[in-house]
Amino acid sequence: MNIIILGAGRVGESVAESLVSEQNDITVIDQDPVRLKVLEERLDLRGVVGNGIQPSVLREAGAQDADMVIGCATSDESNLVFCKVAHTIFQVPTTIARLRSPEFAEGDELLSKTGFAVDRVICPEDSVTHYINKLLAYPEALQVLEFAGGRVCLIGVRAVAGSALAGRTIAECKQHFTDFEMRVVALYRQDVGVEPLPTTMVLPGDEVFVLAAQEHIRQVLRAIHNVDQPVQRVMIGGCGKVGLRLARSLIGHYQVKLIEHKLARCEYLASQLPSDALVLHGDTVDEDLLADENVADMDMFLALTDDDEDNIMAAMLAKRLGARRVMALINRRSYADMLNGSMIDIAVSPAQTVIGELLTHVRRGDVVAVHSLRRGAAEALEGVARGDVKTSRLVGRRIEDIKLPVGAHFGAIVRGEGPHSQVLMPHHDTLIEADDHIVIFIPHKRLIRAVEKLFQVGATFFG
């Protein structure tokens, strides 16, 4: 696809990096020539210096031949006008805008074709807030990813000695779950992928990705970690856009303390949040403050400032002082990948949380959800089987007759809609039916095109 990205900041850079790796033709527009030059030297893309809302700049970027534009500039206004110009003047088929303001929601009249012509809205702050809420609901997980409207979850966990995973083969692990089925779709040992065969031994320290119906996730985590201690007390260090959004979503469900070093911001937070939220003025890396505020009693400490280094230090300090679990917001993906599950229990990359939303619109075939894993090298994809036995590569066929690329695995099938839907763990003789939602784990980006083709129907299908 020919894709134009407005903005070479953190989000724009992460989006470009992910899309370039899939052989898309990427052009990035930014007014900073130095930043563009660095991107061009590191990634296989083209940079255009200029103001992306100007038609002449869009024309230079090749908007007349573009399949998609993605507005990732720092201001909502720029992204809105960028999409409007791309649609109105150049008839670009798909427009996506990063919008921070809650005033603009997908489906609003203002974003329609007669308005700003924004087809899809992405909001990293909302994505991060939703992602952290899931991790609070399942605190022993490193990642929690949803499919089929939340009916199926893929969780990443660290195998610990003495658990239901460590020291056992995958086949033996499954024997601990007699009431329901779960599926190990991927295993990583010291950052190297290991084929999850029934005879594969899971060792302490391995990162294991387990797929199961949402209602069984807590049982899976309890068996893996021999503990089921829900989060009750949360301390948030740093209350910018993400911290405030998160605090609003947590209050009423958890006991919440907030630490913010800017006095004016503290006063604003106190005016915006209910009285049962304790707002403290101080530094997140102040050891005495954390100790005085009983960080050791916290079930989760969240470092959410705008500074990666401060977040890393605050999370490590809270962990040393006794916090049960610590999480840090880390913008640099290399830092997040290095620290996740080590000195810091969970490292969250804001840009990475929105990549899946964007990839859903880039995928061919009827793909409804995409989650990027392992620094973007691997992917879990949910597609819908359309057509019939004549027009589909999936419908009417058994799992054993469907040729997946080597290394890719069927994870789960969700059949039916609403409360009566079924979650199936596919076996060799499972027959795919029309409209089944199918989750497939893909270990390498180079295999994605072959998997996408499975969800494309023949030209003769008109249903």
In three-state secondary structure terms, 370 is strand
Domain covering 363-454 in this structure, CATH number:
3.30.70.1450
CATH fold of 140-225 reads Alpha-Beta Plaits (3.30.70)
Q: How far is CA 102 from the centre of its chain?
A: 20
Range with the lowest mean pLDDT among 42-56, 105-119, 357-371, 376-390?
A: 357-371
Taking only the tens place, the pLDDT of each residue in 294-327 is: 999 999 999 999 899 999 999 999 999 999 999 9
The confidence band for 461, taking pLDDT boundaries of 50, 70 and 90, is: very low
Average pLDDT across the chain, whole number? 89
Q: Is the dihedral of CA 263, 267, 268, 269 positive or negative?
A: positive
Relative to beta strand 378-384, strand 437-442 is: antiparallel
Tokens of 328: 């840090």
Q: How many residues does the chain have?
A: 463
The CATH number of domain 2-122 is 1.10.287.470? no
In this chain, the answer to whether the domains covering 2-122 and 140-225 adopt an identical fold is: no
What pLDDT is attached to residue 349?
82
Beta bridge partners of 157: 208
Taking only the tens place, the pLDDT of each residue in 59-83 is: 999 999 999 999 999 999 999 999 9
- Which sequence spans correspond to the domains of the chain? 2-122, 140-225, 233-352, 363-454
Taking only the tens place, the pLDDT of each residue in 245-290 is: 999 999 999 999 999 999 999 999 999 999 888 999 999 999 999 9
The confidence band for 462, taking pLDDT boundaries of 50, 70 and 90, is: very low
Q: How far apart are CA 13 and CA 28, in angstroms?
A: 9
What is 238-275 written as a DSSP string? Answer: --SHHHHHHHHHHBTTBEEEEEES-HHHHHHHHHHS-T
Domain covering 233-352 in this structure, CATH number:
3.40.50.720
